[in-house]
Amino acid sequence: MTASAAASPVAPGTLREHVRKLAGAIGVRNVWRPEALAAARDFIETTWRAQGHAVERQTYTTEGVACSNLVVTLPGRRWPEQVVLAGAHYDTVHGSPGADDNASGVAAVLELGRLLAGARPGRTLRLAAFVNEEEPFFHGDAMGSTVYARAARRRGEDIRAMFSLEMLGCYRDEPGSQRYPPLFRHFHPDRGDFIALVANLRSRRLLKRALAAFRAGSNFPVETTATFGWIPGVSWSDHLSFWREGYRAVMVTDTAFHRYPHYHSAQDTPDRLDYPRMARVVEGLAGMLLRLAEDDGL
């Protein structure tokens, strides 16, 4: 399978069922609810295995609880040592079932697993489900993506691109529905009807190539920003772990609290997401990953 031969489209209902399983049946999932965290892990692993993938567990202990990152690998045929990775975290904050944050991102990587099953990409493609992204682990040594990125750097892995899928389910058409940090509102639309690709300055070349690869196969509205990591929201996900290890990484997001009024609340429930538009985003991401895996200049 190559960039020009994408698999069947994403069904909004499939994304809805993934989100309902994680944010409805399982609910709040973190180390203080270890059975729920393990249930989410097992659901992700079972889903990927049913698609025909081998799933690697990277397990470590936090707060006395065994915590696992999950990884699927599709070996590259031209540059197998070079990696393009997309991942999402599956834990939630206290008190939130986490439909948008981040069952939406997990549903996306699960569907990417289906879309990419059987692919023979130029570069190695990896899909990851990270644990312990939320506070109090964010930015710390027990953050799942930090554990993963540090181990990858120690192994000398050549990760050419990392994409953090962080909240993909909220889209709004009303004027004024999109907010921004100071100054940014002058350069972007005031309606929250787009997906955003966000990078630090070191990753701006990757951002440009990712944008071109996404637009080559999708007409879904997309906005991009390459800026300083200290701006509120810019570094607030698993891409930060890869930036800190010197890898280039991009966050793919519906902009979280800049658009979604139920961020980190008990109201972040499956019924509040826009699954048809989310499906279009996932289809665009699948094409983007395949094109980047074949990109001679990445």
112: nearest Cα among 127, 123, 100, 122 = 127
Whether 189 has a pLDDT exceeding 70, the answer reads yes
pLDDT tens, position by position, 84-100: 999 999 999 999 999 99
Domains identified in the chain, total number? 1
pLDDT tens, position by position, 139-154: 999 999 999 999 999 9
Whether 190 has a pLDDT exceeding 90, the answer reads yes
Tell me the average pLDDT across 247-261. Answer: 97
In a domain, 70, yes or no: yes
Phi, psi of 89 (to 5 degrees): -90, 145
Map tokens 């049946």 to a residue: 25
Whether 13 has a pLDDT exceeding 80, the answer reads yes
Whether 234 has a pLDDT exceeding 60, the answer reads yes
Tell me the average pLDDT across 167-188. Answer: 88
pLDDT exceeding 70 applies to what percent of the chain? 97
In a domain, 179, yes or no: yes
283: nearest Cα among 130, 52, 114 = 114
In a domain, 69, yes or no: yes
Whether 174 has a pLDDT exceeding 70, the answer reads yes
At 233 the pLDDT is: 79
> Mean pLDDT score of the chain, rounded to an integer?
94
Contact 123, 203 (CB under 8 A): no
β-strand partners of 85: 126, 162
At 8 the pLDDT is: 58
At 230 the pLDDT is: 83
252: nearest Cα among 165, 134, 148 = 165
Tell me the average pLDDT across 120-129. Answer: 98
At 2 the pLDDT is: 40
In a domain, 7, yes or no: no
- Between the CA atoms of 262, 263, 264 and 266, what dihedral angle is there, to the nearest 10 degrees? 10
In a domain, 2, yes or no: no
pLDDT tier at 270, thresholds 50, 70, 90: very high
Tell me the average pLDDT across 250-266. Answer: 97
pLDDT exceeding 90 applies to what percent of the chain? 90
Structural domain range at position 174: 12-294
Distance CA 76, CA 143 (A): 28
In a domain, 6, yes or no: no
In a domain, 241, yes or no: yes
In a domain, 144, yes or no: yes
- Indicate which CATH number applies to the domain containing 108: 3.40.630.10
